Structure 1
C-alpha cells in the first residue's frame, strides 16, 4: 500500500476514549488549518460507531464553525439523539482546545426497497483518457512558492483526472461547472461504512472552486479568503472508494461573498451513489492585490 494511503487509513481508525467519545488524528497538509473533509469524514465515522451495522448512513448535514488546529487531534462527542424502528439519528461535535470546530447531524436507515430514479451520468471521457492531476502539478511546480512546493508535490492518497483542466495561475472565466474522476490511489480493505466516511472526506476536494470559476478566482490568490461554511450529503447506493468515481459539480449562484455548489457522484457504470451541497466563503480582501 502507498504510504500516503496507509496514513489516510490510519486517520480513519478512530480511537474510542469513553462511551460516545472518540479521538481522530489530524494531518499536516500544507494548509494552516485541518482540511474540512477530514473532520467531516471522521465525525461521520464516529457517529456510525454508535449505530448497528445493518443501518447504513443515508444523509449528513454539517457546519464548519472554527479553523481546526493541524497540530492537535480532534475529539468527537456523539449524541445519540434517536433510535427508531427504521431510522437512527446522531449529532456529533468535533472539539479542539475545549471548543467545537465542527457540528454534524447524520441519519442512518434500515435497508429497504423502494422506488428508484436518478439524474443520468453526464457523458465524459473515461479516466484513462485524461491527464492525471499529478502530471499537471509537476508541470507547474516551478510556479509554486518554495515554502509551499514540498507540500504541493508530496504523494497524495487520492488521484484525480479532471475532464477540463484549469490553470490555477492563469485562471480564465468559465461557466460554474466542474467534472473530474477521483479515487483513493491504492486498494482499500475496509467495511462499507468506512468507504462512505472516505467519500465524505473526498467530497470536499475541488468542490467549492466551482463557484469561483465565473469570476476568475482561485485558492492561490493572495487576496482571496476561502472557507467551507456548511456541507450536506445524501447516499443512495454502494461503491468502492478505490474505484473511479465521477464528480459532477455545478454552482447555481453566488452572493454576499458566498458561493453555493451542488454535486452528484457516479460510479463508472452510471449509478448515482451520492449527492452533495456546500456553501463556501469566497471573499476578496479589500486593498490587497492578487499574487
Structure 2
C-alpha cells in the first residue's frame, strides 16, 4: 500500500513530485505511491496530472503533451491508491495518442485522452497579450488550498466573486528539467478554483467538475511564476462552462484550458 501522509518524505504532506511518482506494475499499468487523508473527494487536478504522467511514460522520447481531455466520472478518495491503465491508440511519425483510465476499487473514477507531439521549428505567434495584472511581488500572497508544494499571489480581480479567478502560482519545490513534469504540474494547477464564481449572483452555485481540457502551447517552468486567468462563459441546464489561460511571467501564452461543471440551484430537502 502507498504510504500515508504522515509517512511521506516531507513529514506531514506529500510534495507535488511525490504525487507524480507512479509505480509501474506492468506494461502500461501504473499505481500511485502516495496516499493521504483528505475530508474532500480526490482533487481533480491531481488525478488528471497523474493520468498525464502515466500516459507520458509510454510515448517515444521527445514527444510532449499538446492536449488532454478528461471526464470526471466518480468521486475519488485521496486515502486510497489509484490505478492508471494506458491504451496506446497510435504512434505516428510525429504524434502519439493515448487513452488513460483511472480506477479505484475496481471502478472508473476518471478517463482521459491525451495527444503528444514532437515539437517543430515553425511559426510562433500569439494573438493576445497576457491579462493586465499586478506582478507577483505586488499581489497578496498565500498558499493555494488543496495544492501541495504550490504558492499563490492574488492580484486585483476582474470580477467580484467568491473565489479568485486570476492568480499567480508557482511550485515551491524545484522541479527537474523535464517538460513532461512541468506539463503535469500545470495540469495539477489547472483545476483549482473556478471561472464560474463571478456568476454566483443567485441561489445557483458551481459544483463538481464534469470534464476538463488543457492545450499546451509552449513549454513553461512551473517552479517560476505563471498567471492563471479564468473567464466565465455560460451557465444553462444545470451546467456551467468557463475558459482560461496560463501565461509565463514574461507574458508568453503557455496553455489554454476549459472546463464544464455542475451549476445548480440547491434542491429542497423538505
TM-score by length of 2: 0.87
Match of 1:214 in 2: 199
The structure 2 residue matched to 1:112, chosen from 120, 126, 131, is 120
Q: Where do 5+ consecutive residues of structure 1 fail to align?
A: 138-151, 167-171
CA distance in 2, matches of 1:52, 1:228: 31
- Give SS of 1:42's match: helix
Q: Where do 5+ consecutive residues of structure 2 fail to align?
A: 1-8
How far did residue 33 of structure 1 move?
Answer: 1.1
Instruction: Confirm or deny that 1:132 pairs with 2:137.
Output: no
Instruction: Confirm or deny that 1:103 pairs with 2:111.
Output: yes
Higher fraction of helix: 1
1:175–1:117 CA distance, 2 compared to 1 (3 A): farther
Q: Which of structure 1's runs of 4+ aligned residues deviate more than 3 A?
A: 1-6, 25-31, 172-177
CA distance in 1, matches of 2:57, 2:141: 35
Alignment check: 8 A CA contact 1:173 1:216 kept: no
- Give SS of 2:70's match: strand
1:175-218, Cα deviation, whole Å (9 max, x unpaired)? 99821101112322352111111110110111x2x21322247x
Instruction: Confirm or deny that 1:57 pairs with 2:65.
Output: yes
The two structures, once aligned, show a CA RMSD in angstroms of 2.9
Alignment check: 8 A CA contact 2:84 2:100 kept: yes
How far did residue 288 of structure 1 move?
Answer: 6.2
- Give SS of 1:132's match: strand
- Give SS of 1:193's match: helix
Alignment check: 8 A CA contact 1:251 1:262 kept: yes
Match of 2:234 in 1: 253
1:41-68, Cα deviation, whole Å (9 max, x unpaired)? 0000000000122111111111011100
TM-score by length of 1: 0.81
